[in-house]
Amino acid sequence: MVKNQIKVNLEKECFDKKQIALAIKNSTLGDMMRCSLLVEGVIKECEGCTLSSICECIDDALEAYVEETTEVVSNFNIE
């Protein structure tokens, strides 16, 4: 059975890459990604945050996913 949770318990607790990948994918379908540390005012900016390099990788993954899955089918002009 497929569970909808980010942590799974196999031999020891681990994070499910599928759930992380789906969260990234779903953020390109009308949802969005944001940092709760910024939103809740825990930090004022990303500079100096120890998670910033991971956040940058997530942003890169989002960009790459959109680029890889977006295909122009046809072009047209409205005159």
pLDDT in tens, 34-75: 899 999 999 999 998 999 999 999 999 998 998 888 887 778
Tell whether 58 is covered by a domain.
yes
| Separation CA 19–CA 39 (nearest Å) | 23
Interatomic CA distance for residues 8 and 14, integer angstroms = 6
Return d(Cα 31, Cα 25) in angstroms, integer. Answer: 9
What is the tally of structural domains in the chain? 1
Q: Is residue 25 part of a domain?
A: yes
**Domain housing 26:** 7-69
Pairing of strands 13-15, 7-9: antiparallel
pLDDT of residue 7: 66
**12: in domain:** yes
Task: Classify residue 75: in a domain, yes or no.
Answer: no
In a domain, 21, yes or no: yes
For residue 78, tell me if it sits in a domain.
no
Q: Looking at residues 21-25, what average pLDDT do you find?
A: 88
